[in-house]
Chains A and B, each alone.
Chain A
Amino acid sequence: MDNFTFGITMLICGMGGTILTLWIMSLVMGLLGKLFPVKPEKKEA
């Protein structure tokens, strides 16, 4: 594979893949935050 094709492929797949992966992770972590919110501490009787 020539350097130009290699570089452009790495640029598109690398940058695209990184941002896509982290975006998906941000969505999943946002969802987890909603599914498991901080429970208020129980007041002692």
Chain B
Amino acid sequence: MADAIINGLSGLTVGFQMLAGDWRNGIMLIVGFVLLYLGIKKDCEPLLLLPIGFGCILVNIPLSDVMMKEGFIRAIYDAGITTELFPLLIFVGIGAMTDFGPVLAQPSTFLLGAAGQFGIFLTLLLALALGFPQLDAVSIGIIGACDGPTAIYVTSKFAPHLLGAVSVAAYSYMSLVPIIQPPIMRFLTTKKERMIVMKAVAKPVSKTTKMLFPLVITILGGLIAPKGLPLLGTIMLGNLMRESGVVARLTKASENEIANVVTLFLGLCIGATMVGSAFVRAETLIILGLGFVAICLDTVCGVLMGKVMSIATGGKVNPLIGAAGISAFPMAARVVQKEGAKWNKKSYLLMHAMGANAGGQVGSVIAAAVMLSVLAGMGIIR
């Protein structure tokens, strides 16, 4: 009987023994707490960092079976990440929330949205140079899209073992855009350029144009880069619902209930991929570093494109708006407005930057779609 009691009690201590046996789980528990702290106390993307942090804690408690064959997070993961469904559902919500009016009022800002994606491809090169396999490098580069769902979609498809690192990098750096971008913007522009006052965008956009936009982009984008059609199609479906105005219930559900539930599941699943044995590696730190480089390069290329546009228009474009050509919407546009106003109180760049930022939103999806189609064209993916 004494043996039975001792054996029974040992069952209660085995978790502690295993925690002491593998220090990596301990590290990941701390990482989970840090993510929770950033989300709760620092308000950094709390909608995602809270479930990611909690998922990370859940999966790193020794003997946790949440990600085992019949674990509850495994069931959610298989249903939504393996099938690529969750990022696509999030995209419907993003489309339903986004007003593409500013970019339609000034279609040339699409080019800033293109330049803001160049960091993806430059980082891909860096990752290859550092010895990452080709599809891993593609997934690391996509952090430069500054777009969580796109990064998750591509990574879950081609490098699911990097999902935790890539997602955490993508969302963390997105929330750090107000800190990362301003020094780069100042470094690359002269005081004279930063002080340029842009004319107000007064050109209204008709409802017909706003409704045709998602259809044209889907068909055109789908013809050029069919591999990215799920990404493009879902964001544009959400936008068509919004602009048509006839399915208010679906639009509301997409941007609220569906997006909220999927965000919870998505965060939990990402957190659950951060198992100590797979995450506590030098490779993870390199990925986080490359993610930072990717977002810096996006900003550099965006501002340089802004400078080209400024020269081409005889100084009518403030190159700072190029920094908003990334997908962090509308945070990057606000950063540009704040930086512009700092140098010239009469400068009101918000609407121009919103155009570039909406262009960046489309640009990130197009860049991912182009990337997938180029990979398919080269025969690397099917």
Q: Which of B57-65, B112-120, B244-252 lies on the face that meets chain A? A: B112-120
Interface mask (A1-37 → B, CB under 8 Å = 1, otherwise 0): 1011011111101110111011111111110110011
Which secondary structure dominates where chain B touches chain A? helix
User: Of A9, A21, A37, which is in contact with the most chain B CB atoms at under 10 Å from its CB?
Assistant: A21
A42 beta carbon closer than 8 Å to chain B: no
B55 beta carbon closer than 8 Å to chain A: no
Residues of A near B377 (CB, < 8 A) are: 13
B217 beta carbon closer than 8 Å to chain A: yes
B366 beta carbon closer than 8 Å to chain A: yes
- CB <8 Å contact, A23 and B111: yes
B216 beta carbon closer than 8 Å to chain A: yes
- CB <8 Å contact, B220 and A11: no
Partner of A28, one of B129, B220, B378: B220
- CB <8 Å contact, A10 and B124: yes
B380 beta carbon closer than 8 Å to chain A: yes
- CB <8 Å contact, A13 and B374: yes
Q: Which of B180-188, B204-212, B259-267 lies on the face that meets chain A? A: B204-212
Residues of A near B104 (CB, < 8 A) are: 29, 33
User: How close is B103's CB to chain A, nearest CB, in angstroms?
Assistant: 8
Interface mask (B114-157 → A, CB under 8 Å = 1, otherwise 0): 11011011101100110000100110000000000000000000
Residues of B near A37 (CB, < 8 A) are: 206
**Please, which residue of chain A has its CB at the minimum distance from the CB of B125?**
A7
- CB <8 Å contact, B225 and A38: no
A39 beta carbon closer than 8 Å to chain B: yes
The 5 sampled A-B contact pairs (Cβ below 8 Å) are A15-B117, A15-B118, A18-B118, A25-B366, A28-B220
A interface residues (Cβ-Cβ under 8 A, vs B)? 1, 3-4, 6-11, 13-15, 17-19, 21-30, 32-33, 36-39
7 closest A-B pairs by CB: A26-B107, A26-B110, A17-B370, A36-B208, A22-B114, A19-B114, A22-B110
B interface residues (Cβ-Cβ under 8 A, vs A)? 103-105, 107-111, 113-115, 117-118, 120-122, 124-125, 128-129, 134, 137-138, 203-206, 208-209, 212-213, 216-217, 220-221, 224-225, 359, 362-363, 366-367, 370-371, 373-375, 377-378, 380
Give 18 A-B pairs besides A14-B370, A17-B224, A22-B110 with Cβ atoms closer than 8 angstroms. Answer: A3-B129, A3-B134, A7-B124, A7-B129, A7-B137, A14-B120, A14-B124, A18-B117, A18-B367, A21-B224, A23-B111, A25-B220, A25-B221, A25-B362, A26-B110, A36-B206, A36-B208, A37-B206
